[in-house]
Structure 1
Amino acid sequence: MKAMLGDTVLAEAGRDELISIEGNWYFPPTSVKSEHLVHSPTPYACPWKGACQYLAVQSGDVVLEDRAWTYPEPYPAAIRRVGRDFSDYVAFWKEVRVVD
């Protein structure tokens, strides 16, 4: 599967490597092209997953603030609930298309 902004591939991995949480596909950290992501200062903490790190998504001159996110250290209860460790996996907001 691929996460795409326009024609730019932001992440690519097999479906079995991704994790689906609350309708969002989370890509493993090794599948994400970090040159297209910039850390954001926007704070957020999910009540059941833990502290979130937002990321801006960049493709050429296009920069979309806070359109990706990751949980560097999800709560142990969240990992149990999901059934897999999703530490540092990256999910994308709607402007980024996730395609097979």
Structure 2
Amino acid sequence: MPKAIWNGEVIAEAGDDEVEIVENNVYFPIDKVHEEYLQDSTHTTVCPWKGTASYYHLVVDGKVNENAAWFYRHPSEKAKQIKDHVAFWRGVDVQR
């Protein structure tokens, strides 16, 4: 069962059939992410084929991991399977 763990807390957990793997990143459905650990960020980046990514900071026990989660609010048609999904990096342990 895929999990995303940071600072000792499980941030997201989903079944193998619920996640999407794109470019070796695990995208978790937003309803499988513990949203209490997410804090909005104004940071964005652009992927030429997926679209504009928005970010969340992770906040656990007062520690902040800036822009450690990203998602595509309006992914391109080629990436439509990751709509309403969140992926992680920057020290987040993503277990497959």
Under a length normalisation based on structure 1, what TM-score does the superposition of the two structures give?
A: 0.88
Match of 2:71 in 1: 70
Identical-pair percentage: 40
Task: Report the CA distance between 1:99 and its aligned residue.
Answer: 2.0
* Deviation sequence 1:27-50 (CA, Å, 0-9, x none): 001100111011111121111001
After superposition, what is the alpha-carbon deviation per residue over 1:15-37, rounded to whole angstroms, capped at 9, x for unaligned? 11111111110000110011101
Residue 11 of structure 1 corresponds to 12
In structure 2, what residue type is equivalent to 1:42? H
Pick from 66, 91, 95: which aligns with 2:87?
A: 91
- Describe the SS at the equivalent of 2:17: helix
Q: Aligned letter for 1:95?
A: G
Question: Cα–Cα, structure 1 residues 89 and 55, in superposed 2: closer, same or farther, change >3 Å?
Answer: same
* Cα RMSD for the two superposed structures: 1.2
The size of the alignment, in residue pairs, is 95
In structure 2, the gaps of 5 or more residues are: none
